[in-house]
Amino acid sequence: MNIRTPHYFLLLICFIVSSCFRNGANTDGLPVGKRIQLQNVEELYQFLTYDDNRYPLVSLHRGGPASGYPENAIETFSYNASLQPVLVECDVRISKDSALILMHDNTLNRTTTGRGTVNASTLAELKSLRLLDNNKKITPYRIPTLEEALAWG
């Protein structure tokens, strides 16, 4: 199964756009109640195309990890989205039992307390691991599934 098909890309873009304006985020400079409501791919393309007259968009690479917040974690997305409107870029991998999870690397070594490849571990095994922040500190956060991330978005 190739998870980089256009369907997954479109699903990821929908997740990114849906997380732009979270409740409680600082939206100074935006019209009150402004929501992004895209009807088709052309509108998505126009939305992501630079425009001098639009409020700037901030994109969080791998969710914008920070000290105490690991990459590709819902808690990191929430923390950063609480500060300002953002676009969230995240990465999807597939587990041994075909669960779609958020993880950038093919291996668990750099970002988790685990070792080995993602596709050699079941979802239950992956969920037992803790995520590391960029300073290699163990966080209380776990690997999210794509479904969990989409529900958050």
With CA atoms as reference, report the closest residue to 109 among 94, 95, 129, 87. 129
For residues 79, 81, 86 and 88, what is the CA-based torsion angle, rounded to 10 degrees?
A: 60
CA distance 126 to 118: 8
CA distance 77 to 88: 7
Active site amino acids: 61, 104
